[in-house]
């Protein structure tokens, strides 16, 4: 599911910072995401997105987060013999992704600043067909990725619900989101041990 911004503006006359005191250890905090030190794969393979984790809210279960806050800022792509965009996958966690500015590399034409996508637990997703074709044929030389872009993701072991406003009232839901994967062709070669396919 993807929600895109449109002409409808919601203006709030309140702020979470208009308070007299904070309860417990909750306090407002401001952080410039452009100061985040990016780590990336430098040899081969697409690294797990957890390398982009800025904040984690731990659960009582070791290794399982209530929520991770992840960003995908400008960085270098240098991995060799690799499909560099995010790979196709399913998660045991739900992902809500948004774009603050720029163009998200896995869906350059269909993901606008202010938009968001939700992939609930075990929902398959990944780059659109155009991104797949482009990345599959690209010469693997060092390149800048996502310059001028800032994308984020909230990943949670809990289920996320979309409000009625988000689904209906806002008129921002992209009912054709799934169509970005329809042009994908199968390149699976079950009898080949070579990533390039049978010779």
CATH of the domain at 139: 2.60.120.10
The reply to whether 52 falls in a domain is yes
The reply to whether 3 falls in a domain is no
Maximum alpha-carbon separation in the chain: 71
pLDDT in tens, 58-75: 899 998 889 999 999 999
Q: Which residue range forms the structural domain that includes residue 128?
A: 44-181
The reply to whether 15 falls in a domain is no
The reply to whether 39 falls in a domain is no
Say how many C-beta atoms besides its own lie within 10 A of residue 180's C-beta.
22
Point out the catalytic residue in the list 23, 46, 103, 187.
46
Q: H or E segment at 135?
A: helix 129-137
d(Cα 72, Cα 54) in Å, to the nearest integer?
Answer: 10
Backbone angles phi, psi at 183, to 5 degrees: -75, -5
Q: Work out the angle at residue 153's Cα, subtended by the Cα atoms of residues 151 and 156, and round it to the nearest 5 degrees.
A: 180
Q: H or E segment at 134?
A: helix 129-137
Q: H or E segment at 153?
A: strand 150-156
> What number of residues does the chain have?
199
| % of the chain at pLDDT higher than 70 | 82
Band (156; pLDDT cuts 50, 70, 90) = very high
- Going by the annotation, the residues of the binding site are 89, 95, 104, 125
- Going by the annotation, the residues of the binding site for homogentisate are 104, 125
The reply to whether 141 falls in a domain is yes
Q: How many domains does the chain have?
A: 1
| % of the chain at pLDDT higher than 90 | 22
The reply to whether 12 falls in a domain is no
The reply to whether 11 falls in a domain is no
Check if 46 is active-site.
Answer: yes
pTM over 0.85: no
d(Cα 13, Cα 76) in Å, to the nearest integer?
Answer: 41
The reply to whether 28 falls in a domain is no
- Going by the annotation, the residues of the binding site for Fe cation are 89, 95, 125
Half-sphere exposure of residue 25, counting CA atoms within 13 Å on the CB side? 0
């Amino acid at each position: 599911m993807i929600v895109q911004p449109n002409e409808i503006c919601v203006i709030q006359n309140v702020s979470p910072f208009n308070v007299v005191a904070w309860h417990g250890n909750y306090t407002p905090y401001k952080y410039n995401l452009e100061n985040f030190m990016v780590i990336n794969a430098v040899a081969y393979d697409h690294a797990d997105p957890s390398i982009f984790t800025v904040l984690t809210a731990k659960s009582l279960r070791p290794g399982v987060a209530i929520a991770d806050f992840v960003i995908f800022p400008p960085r270098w792509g240098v991995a060799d013999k690799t499909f560099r965009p995010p790979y196709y996958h399913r998660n045991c966690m739900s992902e809500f992704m948004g774009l603050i500015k720029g163009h998200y590399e896995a869906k350059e034409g269909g993901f606008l600043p202010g938009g968001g996508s939700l992939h609930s637990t075990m929902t398959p997703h990944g780059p659109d067909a155009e991104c797949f074709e482009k990345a599959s044929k690209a010469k693997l030389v060092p390149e800048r990725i996502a310059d001028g872009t800032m994308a984020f993701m909230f990943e949670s072991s809990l289920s996320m619900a979309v409000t009625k406003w988000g689904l209906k009232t806002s008129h921002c839901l992209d009912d054709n989101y799934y169509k970005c994967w329809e042009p994908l062709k199968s390149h699976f070669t079950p009898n080949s041990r070579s990533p390039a396919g049978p010779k």
